[in-house]
């Protein structure tokens, strides 16, 4: 499909490339237990730091919108997404591509459902007591 498929298929780096330990500092802001959905327009590699800070707060669900300019620079995008993916894994979060240019990243207490969705019956399909 695209660069995102290649990234998630080849997410494992060799031992020499991937750090063995990653220092993660948790931000203990007084968020009053609130979670936020943050939409980040990913224009350039330096926007990676914004995403990582949101992830380290552990209160943010990040919707990452990749701009067409960055899609053209595949190596830079791949490097940025691997860095974000490692941080999401380090905090116990989850990450999934929604479209070619949209990625969803969640904190540890939110899991992205990847299974089958149950079939929901509409009221017209359900039988009423009068029909029984």
pLDDT tens by residue, 75-111: 888 999 999 999 999 999 999 998 888 999 999 988 8
- Computed over every residue of the chain, the mean pLDDT equals 77
Residue numbers of the domain that contains 49: 3-8+35-106
DSSP calls for the chain: --HHHHHHHT-PPPTTTS-S----PPP----TT--EEEEEEE-SGGGHHHHHHHHHHSSEEEEEEE-HHHHH-HHHHHHHHHHHHHHHHHHT-EEEEEETTEEEEE-TT-----SPPPPPPPTTTSPPTTT-
Does a structural domain hold residue 86? yes
Q: How confident is the model at residue 30 (pLDDT cuts 50, 70, 90)?
A: very low
CATH of the domain at 57: 3.30.110.150
Instruction: Please report the pLDDT score of residue 67 as a whole number.
Output: 82
Q: What is the pLDDT of residue 99?
A: 87
Mean per-residue pLDDT for 40-49? 89
Residue 126: pLDDT band with limits 50, 70, 90: low
Counting the structural domains of the chain, the total is 1
């Amino acid at each position: 499909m695209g660069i995102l498929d290649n990234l998630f298929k080849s997410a494992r780096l060799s031992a020499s490339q991937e750090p063995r330990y990653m220092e993660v500092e948790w931000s203990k802001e007084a968020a009053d237990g609130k979670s936020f959905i943050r939409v980040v327009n990913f224009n350039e590699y330096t926007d990676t730091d914004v995403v990582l800070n949101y992830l380290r707060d552990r209160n943010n669900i990040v919707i990452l919108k990749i701009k067409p300019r960055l899609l053209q620079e595949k190596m830079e995008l791949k490097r940025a997404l691997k860095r974000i993916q490692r941080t999401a894994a380090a905090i116990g979060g989850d990450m999934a591509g929604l479209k070619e240019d949209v990625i969803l990243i969640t904190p540890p207490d939110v899991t992205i459902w990847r299974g089958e969705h149950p079939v929901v019956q509409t009221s017209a399909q359900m039988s009423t007591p009068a029909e029984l």
